[in-house]
């Protein structure tokens, strides 16, 4: 009896201790349970402690799949509440999976490891991803390295993701599929780039075409085929040469192992048209080409595919100065040009357009030598003269000093306006400087030359008084005006009075100077009187012989009178 009482007491203590150890689990804990039955779309789960609960079957299903669960299976569930109104425990498989997932994801995030998940829904700005119980947000920009139009094929497919950000307290997780792809592409790219070397010829597929070139897939790595390396000729847009999806043969032009950038070329696989260009296009030869591009400084003309020359704006026209090249030629126009210079090292050809048309100044000089009369329209009036339009679409200039013989240039300029037709005579043609000098006053001859023809310094002329002034008198000789100063009006000072003359008087005077450059005729009555006195003394005696000057002059006058009679 004592032994049985003792055993019973020990068993009771053991059972009591076990009951303390197996306390009812706290709400919010993850517990193990056994599936007792499946009914009405729910699984009845016994979690022990004389507690049972129900869980919707869909909580045991993976996204896009049916639930895989059977009676007798052991599962982990989340204890939300110990007892509800029906006396059942409130259980959740989703919350259990979420807690498991968060623990697993936090460990993976700390180690920088990728996690597996499946895209199962679309939300504003991106998609939702099931990471084995935890739901993460996948931004649209993080789906792929390039924009994806159709995400359908990716939905529900298990695939790796990189965690960008996670906050357990708020329940936020942001993941990226793009980071995984970029990393794997970087590894693949590094491997491929490491095998490539400059000069390699390989096949590739055109993936994208831009304004500046095309990206070619070389089997996991892209290379840039720049527009300038597509052909030797000028290419306005890459689409002229390649199309997306097309397989092309390219040469590796340059490989940058640091940036892993690959430059490709197609023209390098073709013959260089610049080889032997100097012999093919000798200086002075004429060619017909097509205008490919027009700039402010000239126009590019294609002589053959890949060989272009520049016609500088200064070589486009003999007469059209400061005009935009686009007003002389147009794109795609066929033009005849002359080769002016060839520099194969710089791949440059200088061309001339105006040289094919002949120099209009040469033609003018040949057809209109100095002294030839011409007629043209006043194109422009400046402070130094008139510009007259001439044959050959060139201009000649009449300097203001060549407008009138008698009036100043400023006065004569007032007679002209733009558009007037003017007759002139060619004075000079300077082909090198492209200048033509014209004269208007020369059409009527030079009155100064006419007036001084046949006379020289010392000659005696008869002039007509046209004006009386305080300083002398104005006279006219053969239509040319001259001026006799007061001091030259007489040998006697008392007779040096302008008022003793009248307009219309005929007066003899001696020519003292002829200045053809200044167009001046120097006249003096006084010089004439002194010359006559000297001559009389020589012919009729000297005053030293006793004859008075009056007698000598009287004899001279008498002699002259006899000759006149």
- Which structure tokens are listed for 515? 């200045």
Average pLDDT, the chain: 83
Output the CATH code of domain 360-439: 2.40.50.140
User: Quick one: pLDDT at residue 11?
Assistant: 65
The CA distance from 175 to 301, in Å, is 56
Residue pLDDT, tens place only, 519-553: 778 889 888 888 888 887 777 655 454 455 555 55
Overall fold of domain 23-96: OB fold (Dihydrolipoamide Acetyltransferase, E2P) (2.40.50)
Least confident of 90-94, 439-443, 487-491, 526-530: 90-94
10 Å CB burial of residue 511 (0-12, 13-18, 19+) is buried
- What is 316-343 written as a DSSP string? S-SS--S--GGGT--TT-EEEEEEEEEE
What CATH architecture does domain 282-355 belong to? Beta Barrel (2.40)
Q: Specify the CATH superfamily of domain 450-539.
A: Nucleic acid-binding proteins (2.40.50.140)
Residue pLDDT, tens place only, 8-44: 666 666 655 554 445 567 776 777 888 888 888 788 8
466 Cα distance to chain centroid: 70
Residue pLDDT, tens place only, 364-391: 888 889 888 999 999 999 988 899 998 8
pTM: 0.44
Give ranges for CATH 2.40.50.140 in the chain.
23-96, 112-182, 196-269, 282-355, 360-439, 450-539
Closest by CA position to 309, among listed 362, 356, 272, 346:
346
Closest by CA position to 23, among listed 78, 87, 99, 82:
82
Overall fold of domain 196-269: OB fold (Dihydrolipoamide Acetyltransferase, E2P) (2.40.50)
């Amino acid at each position: 009896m004592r032994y049985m009482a003792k055993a019973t007491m020990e068993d009771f203590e053991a059972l009591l201790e076990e009951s303390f150890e197996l306390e009812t689990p706290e709400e919010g804990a993850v517990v193990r349970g056994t599936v007792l039955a499946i009914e009405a779309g729910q699984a009845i789960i016994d979690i022990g402690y004389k507690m049972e609960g129900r869980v919707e079957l869909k909580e045991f299903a993976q996204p896009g799949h049916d639930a895989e669960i059977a009676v007798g299976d052991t599962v982990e569930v989340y204890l939300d509440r110990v007892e509800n109104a029906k006396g059942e425990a409130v259980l959740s498989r989703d919350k259990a999976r979420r807690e498991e997932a968060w623990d697993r994801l936090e460990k993976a995030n700390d180690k920088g490891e990728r996690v597996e998940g499946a895209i199962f829904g679309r939300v504003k700005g991106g998609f939702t991803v099931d990471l084995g119980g935890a739901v993460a947000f996948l931004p649209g920009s993080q789906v792929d390295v390039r924009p994806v139009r159709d995400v359908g094929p990716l939905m529900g497919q298990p695939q790796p993701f990189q965690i960008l950000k996670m906050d357990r307290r708020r329940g936020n997780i942001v993941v990226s599929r793009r980071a995984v792809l970029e990393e794997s592409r970087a590894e693949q790219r590094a491997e491929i780039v490491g095998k490539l070397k400059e000069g390699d010829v390989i096949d590739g597929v055109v993936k994208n075409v831009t304004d500046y070139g095309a990206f070619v897939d070389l089997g996991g790595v892209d290379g840039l085929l720049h527009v300038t390396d597509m052909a030797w000729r000028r290419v306005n847009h890459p689409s002229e040469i390649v199309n997306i999806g097309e397989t092309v043969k390219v040469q590796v032009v340059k490989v940058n192992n640091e940036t892993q950038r690959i430059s490709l070329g197609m023209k390098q696989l073709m013959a260089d048209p610049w080889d032997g260009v100097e012999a093919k296009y000798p200086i002075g030869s004429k060619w017909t080409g097509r205008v490919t591009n027009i700039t402010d400084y000239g126009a590019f003309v294609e002589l053959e595919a890949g060989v272009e020359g520049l016609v500088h704006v200064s070589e486009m026209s003999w007469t059209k100065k400061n005009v935009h090249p686009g007003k002389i030629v147009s794109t795609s126009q066929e033009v005849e040009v002359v080769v002016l210079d060839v520099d194969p090292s710089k791949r440059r050809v200088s061309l001339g357009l105006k040289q094919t048309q002949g120099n209009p100044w040469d033609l003018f000089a040949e057809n209109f030598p100095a002294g030839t009369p011409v007629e043209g329209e006043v194109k422009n009036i400046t402070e130094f003269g008139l510009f007259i339009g001439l044959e050959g679409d060139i201009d000649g200039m009449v300097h203001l000093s060549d407008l009138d013989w008698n009036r100043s240039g400023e006065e004569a300029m007032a007679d002209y306006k733009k558009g007037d037709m003017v007759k002139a005579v060619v004075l000079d043609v300077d082909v090198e400087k492209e200048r033509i000098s014209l004269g208007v006053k020369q059409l009527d001859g030079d009155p100064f030359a006419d007036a001084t023809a046949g006379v020289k310094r010392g000659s005696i002329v008869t002039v007509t008084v046209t004006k009386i002034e305080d300083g002398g008198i104005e006279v006219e000789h053969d239509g040319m005006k001259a001026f006799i100063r007061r001091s030259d009006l007489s040998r006697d000072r008392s007779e040096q009075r302008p008022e003793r003359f009248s307009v219309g008087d005929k007066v003899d005077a001696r020519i003292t100077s002829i200045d053809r450059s200044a167009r001046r005729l120097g006249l003096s009555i006084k010089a004439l009187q002194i010359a006559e006195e000297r001559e009389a003394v020589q012919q009729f005696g000297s005053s030293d012989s006793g004859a008075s000057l009056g007698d000598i002059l009287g004899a001279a006058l008498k002699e002259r009178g006899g000759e006149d009679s």
